[in-house]
Amino acid sequence: MPVFEYAPAPESRAVVDIAPSYGLFIDGEFAGAGDGKVFKTLSPSSEEVLSEVAQAGAEDVDRAVKAARKAFGTWSALPGSERAKYLFRIARIIQERSRELAVLESLDNGKPIRESRDADLPLVAAHFFYYAGWADKLAYAVRGRSALNGTSGADPRPLGVAGQVIPWNFPLLMLAWKIAPALATGNTVVLKPAETTPLSALFFADICRQAGLPKGVVNIVTGDGSTGAELVGHPGIDKVAFTGSTEVGKAIARTVAGTRKKVTLELGGKAANIVFDDAPVDQAVEGIIGGIFFNQGHVCCAGSRLLVQESVQDELLDALKRRMGTLRVGDPLDKNTDIGAINSAEQLARIRSLADAGEAEGAERWAPACELPSSGYWFAPTLFTGVTQAHRIAREEIFGPVLSVLTFRTPEEAVAKANNTPYGLSAGIWTEKGSRILWMANKLRAGVVWSNTFNKFDPASPFGGYKESGYGREGGRHGLEAYLDV
Ligand code: NAD
Ligand code: MN
């Protein structure tokens, strides 16, 4: 298949002004850390330092929690319809500033502009619009508390101050998943973005000011894991919401055990993308590609284990390899780029070591010929065949552009293999047969099951895991319950 030559199509960097340094956003003001500590955030595609950001210590976190506590009284007492106005305003400002935010996100994270522009930003705005719509309807939102069934017409109560810690793979989208439902339900928040991608959260702080949001309702504290640990361990918060690795999730669960804090955890995944012999091959190939190479594979619900029915293995893998050969890896700000930079040197090292383990354990590695830029962090889209369930690349989350291929003969075997994982976040099924989709979806132990598609998101649809993928649900009506006293 001929690969087209593309002229460079760079998005302009000039649409966003990045300051040389940023403070913490506490009680409506930006200020440095009490002890003056800072860290650098860089662009993973060039290793260029983008800005210097304050590293919040225990005293700063304490100040942020107190600001959120002080703001809670008035914010929670506002009628839902008034809180909704702020959320609608934030949603509209995000839309107005979406080009700036998309460029910023691609610079700080390394993801292709095509994705930050067409996936991240529209979903971020949609989340705020969606939860704005719920803010004055909370009495109807929660099970057993409906004015319609006569039990109670009163609005359910917010929890108080939410401490929220998010990862680097979808910085602004994870912020939206956390902040929109918290504010709609009348809580106030202290949020800590990931240390490699703090900038879009700091721009969001500016949007809060632009929207006239009362001081202290949203506080942003930047820093590394130690800042996150200070936040989740702070006695002044009522709710912990965490998205990140299963390892840190377990540590957080231990920290809050025995306290009155409510917790939701969104952790790792190792999803099966299951292709039957009657699936349309080209459509399935697109779904497999999107499932594992979207966002460089830095996706907790990535379809990282391809389970293909043995009889169509050769045909499917040929088509998949041809398609992988057309993926364009490179400058995240180029509008034709499909795969951007790996987020950090640490993540690149993790991906490399797991891919090496795949080879060492006897799986066969394949990647299309592709030239990688000389500076920055890069990993070519990679496929492993001959993978068994015992291999580390079939069991551990790689969180990179690496697909492990396993085969099956019967639907029962597909279910058994798909469920043979400590995780349970998502799964995909590709088949013409509706009855088989329903049969499979009932048996798969995964929070989301996509059929004949993959990685589709909507704010109205709840998202969350089984087993070591975490507990609690975000998104949809379910996502409100995590922030309400019910
Ligand atoms: P990580 O758990 O190390 O970091 C996530 C966040 O937690 C960061 O903000 C980090 O600073 C903070 N943190 C680190 N140690 C902490 C501690 N002891 N206490 C409190 N906060 C702490 O995760 P990572 O390796 O940087 O990110 C990748 C992982 O996140 C993957 O395993 C991926 O599956 C998971 N993830 C899950 C989802 C989901 O929705 N389920 C989404 C994105 C990422
Ligand atoms: Mn960065």
| Predicted confidence (pLDDT) per residue in 108-167, tens digit | 999 999 999 999 999 999 999 999 999 999 988 886 554 455 455 567 999 999 999 999
Distance CA 89, CA 38 (A): 32
- Give the pLDDT score at 440: 98
Q: What is the mean pLDDT of residues 96-113?
A: 98
224 lines ligand 1 (CB under 6 A): yes
What residue type is 267 in one-letter code? L
Distance CA 154, CA 26 (A): 32
pLDDT of 1 above 80: no
> Considering the entire predicted model, what is its pTM?
0.96
3-state SS of the chain: helix, strand, coil percent to 5? 40, 20, 40
Q: Are strands 262-266 and 239-243 parallel, antiparallel or unpaired?
A: parallel
Of the ligands numbered here, which is closest to the C-alpha atom of 194? 1
- Give the pLDDT score at 324: 98
Ligand 1, pocket-test mutation among 292, 300, 350, 455, most atoms within 8 A of CB? 300
User: Would you call 450 helix, strand, or coil by DSSP?
Assistant: strand
* 131-149 exposure pattern, b = at least 16 Cβ within 10 A, e = fewer: bbbbbbbbbebbeebeeee
Give the angle subtended at the CA of 119 by the CAs of 116 and 121, to the nearest 5°: 65
- Give the pLDDT score at 5: 81
Q: What is the mean pLDDT of residues 237-246?
A: 97
Q: Indicate the range of 41-50, 108-117, 142-151, 247-256 predicted with least confidence.
A: 142-151
Question: Is the distance from CB of 455 to CB of 294 less than 8 angstroms?
Answer: yes
Quick one: which atom of ligand 1 is closest to the CA of 167?
5
- Give the pLDDT score at 14: 96
Q: Where does CATH 3.40.605.10 sit in the chain? A: 13-267+469-485
User: Would you call 241 helix, strand, or coil by DSSP?
Assistant: strand
- H-helix or E-strand spanning residue 248: helix 246-256
Active site residue 266: yes
Mean pLDDT, all residues of the chain? 96
Torsion of CA 42, 177, 445, 263, to 10 degrees: 100
pLDDT tens-digit profile of 415-432? Answer: 999 999 999 999 999 999
Q: What is the mean pLDDT of residues 240-251?
A: 97
399 lines ligand 1 (CB under 6 A): yes
Which pLDDT band holds residue 91 (cuts at 50, 70, 90)? very high
Residue with tokens 């043995």: 310
Q: What is the mean pLDDT of residues 383-410?
A: 98
pLDDT of 82 above 60: yes
- Give the pLDDT score at 319: 98
| CATH node for 13-267+469-485 | 3.40.605.10
Q: What is the mean pLDDT of residues 436-440?
A: 98
Quick one: which atom of ligand 1 is closest to the CA of 267?
41
Residue with tokens 């598609």: 453
- DSSP letters, 147-187, are TTTTS--SPPEE-SEEEEE--SSSHHHHHHHHHHHHHHTT-
Give the angle subtended at the CA of 65 by the CAs of 60 and 70, to the nearest 5°: 125
194 lines ligand 1 (CB under 6 A): yes
User: 305 is written with which tokens?
Assistant: 């284990």
- Give the pLDDT score at 77: 97
pLDDT of 25 above 80: yes
Question: Is the distance from CB of 394 to CB of 388 less than 8 angstroms?
Answer: yes
Q: What is the mean pLDDT of residues 244-251?
A: 96
What residue type is 486 in one-letter code? V
Quick one: which atom of ligand 1 is closest to the CA of 255?
19
pLDDT of 4 above 80: no
| CATH node for 272-451 | 3.40.309.10
Distance CA 167, CA 118 (A): 20
Q: Could you give the strand order of the β-sheet that contains 21-22, starting from the edge strand earlier in sequence?
A: 21-22, 48-54, 38-43
Q: What is the largest distance, in Å, between two alpha-carbon atoms of the chain? A: 66
Which pLDDT band holds residue 486 (cuts at 50, 70, 90)? confident
Question: Is the distance from CB of 53 to CB of 60 less than 8 angstroms?
Answer: no
Q: Where does CATH 3.40.309.10 sit in the chain? A: 272-451
Question: Is the distance from CB of 372 to CB of 378 less than 8 angstroms?
Answer: yes
